[in-house]
Amino acid sequence: MATNLRINADRLWDSLMEMAKIGATEKGGVCRLALTDLDKQARDLFCQWAKEAGCTITIDKMGNIFARRPGKDNSLAPVMTGSHIDSQPTGGKFDGIYGIMAGLEVVRTLNDFNYETQRPVEVAVWTNEEGSRFAPAMVASGVFAGVFPLEYGLSRADLDGKTMGAELQRIGYDGPEEVGGRPVFAFFETHIEQGPILEAEKKTIGVVQGAQGQRWFEVTMVGQEAHAGPTPMKVRKDALVGAAHVVTAINRIGHENQPFACATVGMIQSSPNSRNTIPGKVFFTIDLRHPEDAVLSRMAAAAKAACEEAAANNRLELDFKEIWYSPPVKFDADCVAAVKAGAEELGMPSLPIISGAGHDACYMSRVAPTGMIFIPCEDGISHNEIENATRGDCGAGCDVLLRAVVERANAF
């Protein structure tokens, strides 16, 4: 490929910082929950920039956006790259949006150099990757990949009962295009690592080999509300005490399955949440992850047993539901090789790495050859307002993306 092609790291950084103003938080992060007005604002800005770069925009029924730069032969399937605009409630300036801005920067660079690829190049924006406002995560790329039916995706509801379908309509991103079936020759996602490995190993590029598996559970424990004063300890049915035992058990399951296992209770709602009423009902979530499916299954069985034991010991009713299972993923050999070659060509130190987080690339790997590029983030911190990455590393990841995209976009 033409090795003189280089992205513009300052332009990429400026675009990232402009996007970071949409939903900016006081501590320097971003709160841009899926399908809120802020999500719409960022989508509008992306579409405007993509059109200014000469792309045509297509939006599907899940609100996924595809910005297409034509190739020499537009009958060929495109090379696609992208990520997500939505963030965690206390999210950072890079998770997701970096992968989209990197894709846009690739398009802008190809324009600068008047470089025509054989295949079209598309930048994708996937709806609700985070799974924070609407569970599960990666739901719209999941519908695209045929993992979930469209009706399932559109009916996901937030804690107020608002559905993705209704919210897509409200913000005007309920597009006309059918979801999925769009041919994709190769898919790449560029992302911050969200962990500490690249920084510790002093490597600029993570050549992502695949991603660990995830299982998500929703648990409700029901006891009995009663007065915090007159009710003796021995007769209580305290749902929060049951949940507390599970929280520590889940943490223990994570520790017991090292190396690699992760186990988290991230959301808990106690009812009625009044300081002088014994909690009668508690809802909480469990997130289990491991790169090996067999270990992940054992962790899931242990989590269920811990819930049953805590419920029995505290005389609680238990509702234990698995709501999501995303198996471990192995990325495509050609795409992984294209990422590695891109880093080598640029003389950047790289490392093979497994993703600890879920990404839209995981579902895309079911319908297209897929690869991912990681760059370091400061202290490995992500899903936090202080999440940070350098201008140089953002540029480096984007230069590798450019090479991988061009290599695949000229391949047959």
Q: Write out the residues near ligand GLV by the rule CB under 6 A.
A: 130, 137, 357-358
Site residues, Mn ion (CB under 5 A): 95-96
Q: How far is the CB of 358 from Mn ion (least distance, A)?
A: 8
User: Residues of 233-264 as b/e, b for ≥16 C-beta within 10 angstroms?
Assistant: eeebbbbbbbbbbbbebbeebbeebeeebbbe
Residue 63 binding target from ligand GLV, Mn ion, none, CB below 5 to 8 Å by type: none
Comparison of 137 and 389: residue with beta carbon closer to ligand GLV:
137
Q: How far is the CB of 357 from Mn ion (least distance, A)?
A: 6
Residue 105 binding target from Mn ion, ligand GLV, none, CB below 5 to 8 Å by type: none
Residue 174 binding target from ligand GLV, Mn ion, none, CB below 5 to 8 Å by type: none
Token digits of residue 159: 């804690």
Residue 103 binding target from ligand GLV, Mn ion, none, CB below 5 to 8 Å by type: none
CA–CA separation, 253 and 302 (whole Å): 7
Q: How far is the CB of 75 from Mn ion (least distance, A)?
A: 33
Query: Which residue has 């929060």 as its token pair?
Result: 240
Residue 371 binding target from Mn ion, ligand GLV, none, CB below 5 to 8 Å by type: none
Q: How far is the CB of 311 from ligand GLV (least distance, A)?
A: 27
Q: How far is the CB of 357 from ligand GLV (least distance, A)?
A: 3
Question: In this structure, what DSSP letter does residue 30 have?
Answer: B
Cβ neighbours of 151 (radius 10 Å)? 9
Comparison of 193 and 238: residue with beta carbon closer to Mn ion:
193
Comparison of 15 and 132: residue with beta carbon closer to ligand GLV:
132
Comparison of 83 and 117: residue with beta carbon closer to Mn ion:
83
Residue 96 binding target from Mn ion, ligand GLV, none, CB below 5 to 8 Å by type: Mn ion
Q: How far is the CB of 212 from ligand GLV (least distance, A)?
A: 9
Cβ neighbours of 232 (radius 10 Å)? 7
CA–CA separation, 194 and 115 (whole Å): 33
Tell me how far CA of residue 18 lies from CA of 11, 22, 85, 86, in angstroms. 10, 8, 13, 15
Comparison of 34 and 253: residue with beta carbon closer to Mn ion:
34
The DSSP string of 75-120 is TSPPEEEEEE----TTB-SSTTHHHHHHHHHHHHHHHHTTPPPSS-
Comparison of 315 and 330: residue with beta carbon closer to ligand GLV:
330
Strands 205-211 and 350-355: parallel
Query: Which residue has 């998500």 as its token pair?
Result: 216
Residue 137 binding target from ligand GLV, Mn ion, none, CB below 5 to 8 Å by type: ligand GLV
Q: How far is the CB of 358 from ligand GLV (least distance, A)?
A: 4
Token digits of residue 230: 């007159």
Comparison of 88 and 314: residue with beta carbon closer to Mn ion:
88
User: For ligand GLV, which residue has the nearest CB?
Assistant: 357
Token digits of residue 3: 């090795």
